[in-house]
Amino acid sequence: MDTHSKETHVQSVFQKVAPKYDLMNDLISFRRHKAWRKFTMKQMNVQPGDTAIDLCCGTCDWTIAIAKASQNGRTVGLDFSSNMLEVGRKKVDKEGLSNQIELIQGNAMELPFPDNSFDYATIGFGLRNVADYSRVLQEMQRVVKPGGRVVCLETSKPTWQPFKSIYYLYFERILPLMGRLVAKSYEQYKWLPESLKAFPGREELAQMYREIGLQNVQAFPLTGGVAALHIGVKGKDKA
């Protein structure tokens, strides 16, 4: 799929699933995504005053968690789906964080910020959806300060048989049916396994981090490798 077709397809998927996105996340991951997010926040160790940009922020769960941890630190959420942002904005308002969190409709491939702007750049279940993974990681590296972190939480590929076979059966056959039943979106939930197929495995993604120059790269498998957390640091020489 070329860049334009992938972006158009992905945008239409999320415009459609936005109202049911949070419910479906709980269902399809058996609520594991909450534990993955908690583990991620622990590893990030955000300090009061830290600043962050959350790419592909969607309905803003991670954006809100970062803003709370950084207390008064500037937090930006960026996404290209107006419907996902709308759901997110309601949650941000409900949490009383609308003065701290700035939500922007934009493309993760071209961040509208100067170099060295943030302490963290994060992307949650978003990298798999973009047209050029490496370009987005480079953009994340560009906008963090030297010493800042590029953090990616994403579905991944378990390698251990027989778990792997059961997982693929669930992901490719059962999950789209759940999408049809609950969110009335069979085609949209078919996109999840399709996008995972093309996405690098845990080690390959860590290698991609290193290739663009990120340092001290850590890759954590989550729940038998069905998800993974990657963290890399921007070198002081990259200012």
Ligand X SMILES: C[S@@+](CC[C@H](N)C(=O)[O-])C[C@H]1O[C@@H](n2cnc3c(N)ncnc32)[C@H](O)[C@@H]1O
The residue length of the chain stands at: 239
Q: Is the separation of the CB atoms in 152 and 44 below 8 Å?
A: no
CB closer to ligand X, 14 vs 171? 14
In the list 40, 50, 53, 62, the residue contacting ligand X (rule: CB under 6 A) is 62
Q: Is 107 annotated as a binding residue?
A: yes
Interaction between residue 195 and ligand X (CB under 6 A): no
When asked if residue 126 is in the footprint of ligand X (CB under 6 A), the reply is yes
Asked whether position 40 contacts ligand X by CB under 6 A, the answer is: no
Binding-site size, ligand X (CB under 6 A): 20
- 89, with CB counted inside 10 A (0-12, 13-18, 19+), is middle
Minimum CB distance to ligand X smaller for 100 or for 129? 129
Among 51, 107, 117, 141, binds ligand X (CB under 6 A): 107
> How far apart are the C-alpha atoms of 113 and 139, rounded to whole Å?
10
Answer yes or no whether residue 120 interacts with ligand X by CB under 6 A: no
Q: Is 108 annotated as a binding residue?
A: yes
Q: Give me the least distance between CB of 177 and ligand X, in Å please.
A: 19
- Answer for which of 44, 57, 208, 222 binds ligand X (CB under 6 A) is 57
Q: Maximum CA pair distance of the chain?
A: 51
What are the strands, taking DSSP E only, across 181-226? 215-222
Contact between 87 and 21 under an 8 Å Cβ cutoff? The reply is: yes
Distance, CA of 200 to CA of 203 (rounded, Å): 8
Residue closer to ligand X by CB (options 58, 73) is 58
Side chain identity at 146, as an amino acid letter?
Answer: P
On whether 121 is known to bind a ligand per the annotation, the reply is no
Q: For ligand X, give the closer residue by CB, 37 or 180.
A: 37
- Cβ proximity of 192 and 173 under 8 Å: no
* Smallest distance, ligand X to C-beta of residue 167, A: 18
Which one-letter amino acid corresponds to residue 139? E
Query: Radius of gyration over alpha carbons of the chain, in Å?
Result: 17
**Footprint of ligand X (CB under 6 A):** 7, 10, 14, 56-58, 61-62, 79-81, 84, 107-109, 124-126, 129-130
